[in-house]
Amino acid sequence: MNQRSFSLLAGIIFTIIALLHLVRIIYGWDPVVEGWTVPKWISWVALVVAGYLGYEGLRFSHQIETKLAANRKETPLNVIKDRGFLVIGFFPELHFSN
């Protein structure tokens, strides 16, 4: 697993956790752990922390992809002319030799 995949997966997981805490707050669910009712303020703290970590994971994943695209000098729409043919599309790995 490369750094971009890890950041993307971590960002998605933390975002889901943040959304679950938000749903708990909205619907007023009261989880009980061994007879102890978990207070709502814990979900508020977890919402902020998990939301921040999810945002940073997704942002970092996007930054890595942007840097990789810049290193490959690719654009979303590449136009390649070779031997009279015009090919339009997204081809990051396509190279022609003379």
Interval 73-93: pLDDT, tens: 655 444 444 444 444 445 555
State yes or no: pLDDT of 9 exceeds 50: yes
Q: How many CB atoms lie within 10 A of CB 41?
A: 9
DSSP β-bridge partners for residue 81 = 86
The pLDDT tens digits for 31-56 are 899 999 999 999 999 999 999 999 99
d(CA 29, CA 17): 15
pTM: 0.67
Kindly report the CA angle at 18 between 15 and 24, in degrees rounded to 5?
Answer: 145
Q: What tokens were used for 29?
A: 């669910």
State yes or no: pLDDT of 67 exceeds 80: no
> Where do the domains of the chain lie?
3-89
Segment 18-42 shows an average pLDDT of: 93
More confident of the two residues 52 and 65: 52
Average pLDDT, the chain: 80
